[in-house]
Each structure stands twice: as structure tokens, then as C-alpha cells.
Chains A and B, each alone.
Chain A
Amino acid sequence: MSEAPNTQEPKEPSGARLALTLAFAGLISGVALVFTYELTKPVIARNREAALRAAVGRVVPGAKSMRKLVWRDGALQPASAADKDAAVLIAFDARGAAVGFAIVTEGPGFQDTIRLIYGFDASTNTITGMEVLESRETPGLGDKIYKDPDFVKQFKKLSVQPSVKLVKKGKGSGTANEVDAITGATISSKAVIKIINTADKTWRSRLGTVDRNKVRAP
């Protein structure tokens, strides 16, 4: 570059001019982006928080506030801001007493990954509610895992001992750990049960490690 004489200068803009244009474009774009980002960040965070709070409120009866927990050093501890998405939340009622846990988990469904949240009462080992957060199950069939009230209702008071079991509609023996499969969406129903059982295996024993003195209602 430095060896080239100045003869072609008038025809072609210099390398410096090109670099300057790009740098200028980058600068303006950066300013615009930072501005929008700072402006929308609090709103986006508030939206996300509100959505999560609403979901926890629906799967843990009586939940008014919550706190994120992470599994570290063999115990469940309050999550710091650096921990991105904690998988477990502890929910408190209006007076600040712990009313249960909410667990966010995911696994393969019929079409794509299903992400769901379920509430858990550790004192009675029962699931207190379930909500699908994200899925791409077939409309009209697999999407009944969250659109069919009869299916969702069964997770309101569901024992996990020894584990949740899926049965054909009307073929169950009536024990507290049974869920009736959705007719026409057996695989999607199976996937939900499997996801919950896998998460339960990981988390049930860990839930007892919460230090009630350290983890208080916010």
C-alpha cells in the first residue's frame, strides 16, 4: 500500500476514507443501539419477571413472591444476578412463609423441545400444578398438553411417589400418581411425564437442602 504512488488517488477514494466511512457508520449504529438497549432493557426485564411470576403463581397455590435458587456446593442457595436462569424458584405467601417450589425444566417432545414449569410441595411430595412455557407440538393434537383443561387439571394434586405414571384414559387403578393420557396425543403426554420424572429425580432430594435462615422472602 505505502509503495503505491499518488497517481490513482483522484479515481478511487483512499483506504483511509473507506475505513473512516465504516468507522463512522459503526459509531452511529453503536450509539443508536446502546440508546435503544438502555431504553428497552428495564421494560424487557420487567416483562420477563412478570411472566415468570405469573407462571409461578399459577403452579404454586398461594404464591405471592419468589426467589431464584441455584445448586452450588451441595446446597440450594440464593442465585446472584450473575446466574442466568435458575432452574428452581422458591415461592412465599403474603406473610413470607415458604409455600412451595417451582421448577423449570425441558426435554424432547413430539416435534421439538418442550419447556415447562411445575410447582412442587416438598412436605407432601406432590406436584401442585404444571404449565407449558414453550413447545411446538402439533396444533389440534399435541398442543392439548396445555390446551386441554382436563389434562392440565390432573397436575393440580399429583403424587410423585414412586414416580408419575401415565395411564390410558379410564384404565388407571386410581392411585394418586396417575395421569390420564390425552387421546390422540399419547406421545406428547408421555413426553411431559418423562420430563417431569427426570427433573424430579434430580431435584427432589436437593430441595431439602435449602437453608431456611438464609433464604427469605424478598
Chain B
Amino acid sequence: MSALGKDPATFYNEFVKGIWKENPIFVQVLGMCPMLAVTNSAINAVAMGGATFFVLVGSSLLVSLLRKAIPKQVRITTYIIIIATFVTVADFTLQALAPAVHKELGAFIALIVVNCLILGRQEAFASKAPLRLALADAVGMAGGFALALLSLGSVREVLGSGSLFGFSLFGPRFEPWVVMILPPGGFIMLGLLLLVFGWAKERRARRAAVELGEAGAGGPAGRGGR
């Protein structure tokens, strides 16, 4: 879908692409399991975003650092060992420092291991890039993922509980839309957010096309789920 040409690989570009142009959730639609499971409140979303950030940035740095030492044949296994180590460390740390949050997230912290986003970044980027760019890419991707989590978590908490980060927003007369913090609300709200994102993108593309003097932008093809 990237209509624009490939930008030069600078620290800034690698960082920004994860936040917006190649946002893991809204554009690549990766890592949806943790995305939907823990976003019934903003605070859970922040905890999950933080844990994923730690794991992704940590593994990317290590993989980039060791990229010449890891033989190609066993790279996936090595990546998984590295990722699982970081996840276990995050799991224990969270359990020790914030038991209440850990109880809320439960097994989903451990499930970060199978978040396709993380293994995907190692394979597609960190294993080929120097340390500086790998760091930018990981921070950008993890940041984009965390932002997506936070936006979905906030919307669901505001509508579903009438509060944000636990602070009541609308007073006692507000009747919360309970379905929003239940599983169906997660699916539907993410669907709507993707819709808004797609619409904004299409509008921009169309405006750019008009500015270039091309009449009528081509109809957008549906983005297939991966």
C-alpha cells in the first residue's frame, strides 16, 4: 500500500514509520491477540504496551548486536530463545513490582512470546540492520503498538466504564456501554478504528492525487488480514 517511495534509512525515518506509516496494528494488523485481550481499560493497555516495548527493544538490540554471530540455519530458534528470555524477565518483574496489574493481565504477558510482531521485526529488520537503526525501528514499532493499545484501551474504558485510568468522567448518571469492555466490544471497536484509519488514509491519498493533477484516485483494494 505504500504509495510513496522508499525513504532513506535514517534514524528518524525508521522511527516514524512504526508510529504511523507502518503502524503494526492499524496498517500491518499484527499482534492482535494481546491487542484485543487486554484493552478493556487504559491502565492494562499501558502495562501491556510497556511490557511489549521492553521485549521488542531488548530483543532487537541483542539480535542486531549478534547478527553476524548467529548462523542462518538456527536463527529462528535463537530469536525465540532471546524473546522468551526477555518475556520471562518481564513477567517476573511485573509480578514482583505490580502484582495487581499482573493479575489483570494474567497469561497474556507470557503470550507476548507468540506476538508475531516481535519475531517479525527480528526476521525482517533487526537481523540485517546496524544497532542504531535496529533501535529506531524497535522503538518506533513498539511505540506504534503501544499507542494503538492505548487508543483502543481508552476508547473502550471511556465508553464501557465511563472512566479513564480509573477516574470517573461522566458522573453517576452515565449508563456505561458494558459491551465495550466485553470481548465483542473489542472486536467491533477495533474494526471501527481500522475503518477510521483507512478512511483518513484514503482521503489523504485522494487529496495527494488531486494535487498531482491526476483525476480520480484508484479505488482502494481491501487490505487482507495476515
A positions within 8 Å CB-CB of B? 12-13, 17-18, 21-22, 25-26, 28-29, 32-33, 36-37, 39-40, 43-44, 47-48, 51, 138-141
Contact = CB atoms under 8 A, between A and B. Distances in A.
Contacts of B71: 13, 17-18, 21
B92 A37 contact: yes
Contacts of A29: 81-82, 84-85
B95 interface: yes
18 contacts: A12-B73, A18-B73, A21-B71, A22-B74, A25-B77, A25-B78, A29-B81, A29-B84, A33-B88, A37-B92, A44-B95, A47-B99, A51-B99, A139-B160, A139-B161, A139-B181, A139-B182, A140-B178
Nearest to B80: A25
Interface in B156-202: 160-161, 176, 178, 181-182
Interface in B52-67: none
**3 nearest CB pairs, A to B:** A43-B96, A40-B96, A29-B85
Given A18-B74, A51-B99, A140-B178, A44 B92 contact: yes
A25 B82 contact: yes
B1 interface: no
B172 to A, nearest CB: 13
B13 interface: no
Interface in B76-94: 77-78, 81-82, 84-85, 88-89, 92-93
Contacts of A141: 178
A110 to B, nearest CB: 13
A40 B176 CA distance: 39
Interface SS of chain B? helix
A13 B182 CA distance: 51
A44 B70 CA distance: 35
B88 A36 contact: yes
B41 to A, nearest CB: 10
Nearest to B74: A18
A44 B93 CA distance: 9
Interface residues of B, number: 25
B70 A21 contact: yes
A44 B96 contact: yes
Contacts of A40: 92-93, 95-96
Nearest to B106: A134
B74 A33 contact: no
Contacts of A33: 85, 88-89
B176 A140 contact: yes
B81 A21 contact: no
Interface string B117-155: 000000000000000000000000000000000000000
A25 B81 contact: yes
A22 B181 CA distance: 43
Contacts of A51: 99
Q: Counting chain B CB atoms within 10 Å of each CB, which of A25, A36, A139 scores highest?
A: A25
Contacts of B69: 21
B70 to A, nearest CB: 6
Contacts of B95: 40, 44, 47
B77 to A, nearest CB: 6
A43 B27 CA distance: 40
Contact of B178 (A25, A39, A138): A138
Nearest to B88: A33
Contacts of A139: 160-161, 178, 181-182
B74 to A, nearest CB: 5
A148 to B, nearest CB: 15
Contacts of B89: 32-33, 36
Interface string B90-119: 001101110100000000000000000000
Interface in B196-217: none
A139 B157 CA distance: 12
